[in-house]
Structure 1
Amino acid sequence: MQEEWVMKNILLSIFLVGASVSSFAEAPFGLKVGMSLAEVKKVSGPAEMLEKNYYSFKNVPIPYKGFKDYLMVITPKSGLCKVLGFGNPITTSVYGDGVKAEFSTLKESLIKKYGKPVGDYDFLRAGSIWKNPNEWMMSLYREERILTAAWEPKEDNGVENIMLKARATGRSTGVITLSYELSNNEACLAEKESRDISGL
């Protein structure tokens, strides 16, 4: 139960931190830009609502075997504008070998498809006390270590921003997340930020 709670909080933090192609251009995981919630449910099955406009799915039309959940931002007007694959739990040593290996595998696959990343970060924040090799996972858990890569491909399929990130859920467990922002993401953000002021 605690692990599930941690995962859901990580998912929400990923999403809350936060000119288009035609609707329904093909996007990752066999989804389409601008799909409505009903359309996504039709091809992916039931959803769990994490928060307004934020949904978790167990399935997608074209899954990646290394992911266990798929998180999506779907608004009433703009539809699907962001999707994130949340990796299976990785049991690893305190040196982070398992996490590093899965991150590297995904990174190489993305490089083959989208080219070299525009941002490639692997460093420990200045002043961190978790600087020894056997504290690698602890530094990642404390969010004092960064292992991430980013692309800005501006693809015809609607993909505009990609973020691959390693995360720790404990001293010996971690996950990899892979998020895609789609071409309608700005419209989606504007829609989410609009407020109903009719009652004022």
Structure 2
Amino acid sequence: MNLPAPFGLSLGMKLEDFSELKLAEIAPFKYRLDNPPKPHPAFEFYILQISPENGLSWIKAIGQDIPTNGFGTSINSAFLEMEGKLKKTYGNCDRTDLLLQGSIWNEPQDWMMGLVKGERLLASHWEVKTGAKLTEAIESVFLVASARETDCGYIAIEYALKNNSAASEEIASSQDDAL
């Protein structure tokens, strides 16, 4: 099954398929890839989930640092720009833009602090049930805005591939063997 996935990768790629590319293991079954076959300039590096049986099942592209102000102006702009690009590819999405109830970071100039504290969420999600037109290899796409500090953030995209559930079960089972 050689179904194309984002960034020039393919659903189910095994570790040996990455021999030409430099992978660095950062956690069990998670690998950092700096230069995929088709990189995108908005992203600094990529995290891949690769299990022995199911192979590549999940991709997370981590964006370049974006300097911004407390209002999150540059982060919002980068998010909306990437969301527009993803809409051209995958169609309709569900967007969530919220501040958690009870957060003290409720003034416009506190937008980034809300992200830093994990009390604000700006994300878009594509699934077939949202009307998205996904490829044969992709189960869902998730775009999110994140903050490193109140003056610096980034965007990230997570792609769950069609074999992600099976791979997650495989990984959980292998980890549970240690119990």
Question: Is TM (by shorter chain) over 0.5?
Answer: yes
TM superposition score category, shorter chain reference: over 0.9
Q: Shift of the alpha carbon at 1:155?
A: 3.1
- Per the alignment, residue 133 of structure 1 pairs with 108
Count of matched residue pairs: 175
Describe the shift of the 1:73–1:129 C-alpha distance in structure 2 as closer, same or farther (beyond 3 A). same
Residue 15 of structure 2 corresponds to residue 24 of structure 1: no
Q: 1:6 is matched with which residue?
A: none
* 1:197 Cα deviation from its structure 2 partner: 7.7
TM, length-normalised to structure 1: 0.83
The 1-side partners of 2:70 and 2:175 are apart by: 49
* Alpha-carbon distance between aligned partners in 2 of 1:69 and 1:143, rounded to the nearest angstrom: 22
What amino acid is aligned across from residue 52 of structure 1 in structure 2?
P
* Aligned residue among 158, 162, 184 for 2:141: 162
Gaps (5+ residues) in structure 1?
A: 1-22
1:87 equivalent to 2:66? Answer: no
CA apart distance, 1:113 = 1.0
Identity %: 33
Runs ≥4 in structure 1, deviation > 2 angstroms? 153-157, 195-200
Could you report, residue by residue, the CA deviation over 1:59-113 in whole angstroms, capped at 9, with x for unpaired residues? 1111110000010000111000000100001110111011001100100011111
Which residue is 2:84 aligned to? 108
Return the match for 1:176 from 111, 136, 155. Answer: 155
Task: List alignment gaps of at least 5 residues for structure 2.
Answer: none
Q: Normalising by structure 2, what TM-score?
A: 0.92
Residue 18 of structure 2, aligned match among 37, 40, 52: 40
Instruction: Evaluate the alpha carbon distance shift between residue 86 and residue 41 of structure 1 in structure 2; reply closer, same or farther with a 3 A threshold.
Output: farther
Secondary structure, aligned partner of 1:194: helix
Decide whether the 8 Å contact of 1:31 with 1:40 is kept in 2: no
